[in-house]
Structure 1
């Protein structure tokens, strides 16, 4: 006879120390990525030491560096995704595409500006580093496709969604904001003008 939980029985809650360690590890990783020179410099040992736990605790909580980065990214993105799914205009459902699409891209740009090194680390994490295969990319692409489908005369919402998301890729944001020194408001203005031209059509 198996020793697993009986069907219908409540799942075991994580121990309080495990929950506490996970929160400490996420906070430590967040701080390290926010203040590093390069996201590639941050190791699992760095995160464990900053959180005051052993490496074994870190690996038990997240498995590997890619999973840690993914969990931190998801936690930071959660408020934005909640606003997109359930919030009021201009991000929330029911907003006309001409207002919602620029608002979605602006919100995503601001998120990437606020978390530049974390997002760069996410896109470079793991053996398969293609951002196009990431779950979060698929969600945003589908969201933009849905909104763009309501734009009159737009022939290919799928390709247009890819093109718009390319304008807020982490490496491009880092190049413009970090290497070129373009300030936040100028980047937002340029993106808004670009999106408006795309939506206006030929």
Structure 2
């Protein structure tokens, strides 16, 4: 924070008020790419965007989200607020709303779709970010991690929605 304040010509208090924490600075750096990712959901091509079946869209989202995070790995790691139990914020809110909407269309036979959407969001936004931010062996590159997470997500969605 001190270095950023000095290089920007702002006071340290101004930087703290704007970003709150070191993690907040990195959230701001991710903001533009995060918005670009989020725009693909309502207006991008299928299966992530409209035009595909709800289950296919859920699977596509669960594959695209870890890949997006892995593509910004250094900034994602730095954006984690170690004082929070799980990552949260606008991205997690969008994920939850999107998953809830698609679950409503998929009709998985679960009475409480809000709770299911919250649990699926936690599976994507919380542990995925923590998994990607954990020290990994040099032999496991982030794209491969994202692929494995996508495979697991697909298996989960297929079991929840198609059983």
Q: Which bin holds the TM-score, normalised by the shorter protein? A: 0.7 to 0.9
Q: Distance in 2 between matches of 1:197 and 1:96?
A: 16
List alignment gaps of at least 5 residues for structure 2. none
Q: Distance in 1 between matches of 2:150 and 2:108?
A: 26
Q: Deviations over 1:126-171 (max 9, x none)?
A: x7x3557523211210111001111133313222222222333211
The answer for the alignment partner of 1:193 in structure 2 is 155
Report the Cα offset of residue 60 of structure 1. 8.8
Q: Which of 53, 65, 68 is the aligned partner of 2:8?
A: 53
Q: Which of 136, 140, 143 is the aligned partner of 2:95?
A: 140
Greater relative contact order (Cα < 8 A, sep 6+): 2
Contact 2:26 2:79 in 1 (8 A): yes
Report the Cα offset of residue 122 of structure 1. 3.3
Provide the alpha-carbon RMSD of the alignment: 3.1
Q: Distance in 2 between matches of 1:132 and 1:187?
A: 17
The answer to whether the aligner puts 1:150 opposite 2:105 as a matched pair is: yes
List alignment gaps of at least 5 residues for structure 1. 1-43
Aligned residues: 153
The structure with the larger Rg is 1
Contact 1:123 1:130 in 2 (8 A): no
Change (3 A) 1:46 1:187: farther
Segments of 4+ in structure 1 off by > 6 A? none
Report the Cα offset of residue 53 of structure 1. 3.4
The answer to whether the aligner puts 1:178 opposite 2:136 as a matched pair is: yes
Report the Cα offset of residue 46 of structure 1. 4.4
TM-score by length of 1: 0.61
